A = this chain, B = another copy of it.
Amino acid sequence: MPPVRRLGILTGGGDAPGLNAVIRAVVKSTCRRGIECVGIQDGFEGLLEPDRSRVLQPRDVTGILRLGGTILGTVNRGADPRRLVATSDGPKEYGVRVAEMAGRLGLDALVVVGGDGTLAIAYHLCTLGVPIVGVPKTIDNDIVGTESSFGFNSAVEYATDAIDRLHATAEAHHRILVVEVMGRYAGWIALYAGLAGGADAILIPEIPFDPHIVAERLLARERRGARFSVVVVAEGACPKGGSPAVTDPGGRGRLERLGGMGAEVCRLLAAETGKETRSVVLGHLQRGGQPTSTDRVLATRFGSYAVELAVRGRFGTMVAYDPPAIVARPLGEIVGKVRLVPVDSDLIQAAKAIGVTFGD
Contacts and interface: CB of A to CB of B under 8 A. Distances in A.
A160 B154 CA distance: 14
B165 A285 contact: yes
Contacts of A197: 65-66, 293
A29 interface: yes
A340 interface: no
B305 A350 contact: yes
Nearest to A224: B58
A157 B165 CA distance: 13
Given A300-B354, A301-B347, A324 B147 contact: yes
B69 A169 contact: yes
Interface in A50-84: 58-59, 62-63, 65-70, 73-77
Given A19-B172, A76-B173, 12 more contacts: A28-B354, A29-B353, A32-B354, A66-B198, A73-B227, A153-B293, A162-B285, A195-B297, A196-B296, A280-B284, A307-B353, A326-B350
A264 interface: no
A171 interface: yes
Given A69-B168, A280-B285, A353 B308 contact: yes
A285 B179 CA distance: 10
A239 B354 CA distance: 48
B169 A284 contact: yes
A89 interface: no
13 contacts: A15-B172, A32-B353, A58-B224, A59-B225, A63-B167, A66-B198, A161-B289, A165-B285, A193-B293, A196-B297, A196-B300, A292-B292, A323-B323
Interface of A: 14-15, 19, 24-25, 28-29, 31-32, 42, 58-59, 62-63, 65-70, 73-77, 147, 153, 156-162, 164-169, 171-174, 177, 192-193, 195-198, 224-227, 276, 278, 280-281, 283-285, 287-289, 292-294, 296-297, 300-301, 303-305, 307-308, 323-326, 345-347, 349-350, 353-355
Contacts of A159: 293
Contact of A65 (B158, B172, B198): B198
A73 B296 CA distance: 27
A353 B293 contact: no
Query: What is the total number of copies of this protein in its complex?
Result: 4
A169 B353 CA distance: 29
Which of A276, A345, A354, A355 counts the most B-chain CB atoms under 10 A from its CB? A354
Contact of A157 (B73, B164, B293): B293
A289 B347 contact: no
A171 B71 CA distance: 9
Contact of A293 (B14, B196, B346): B196
Contacts of A288: 164-169
B293 A156 contact: yes
A173 B353 contact: no
A22 to B, nearest CB: 11
Contacts of A59: 225
Contacts of A164: 66, 288-289
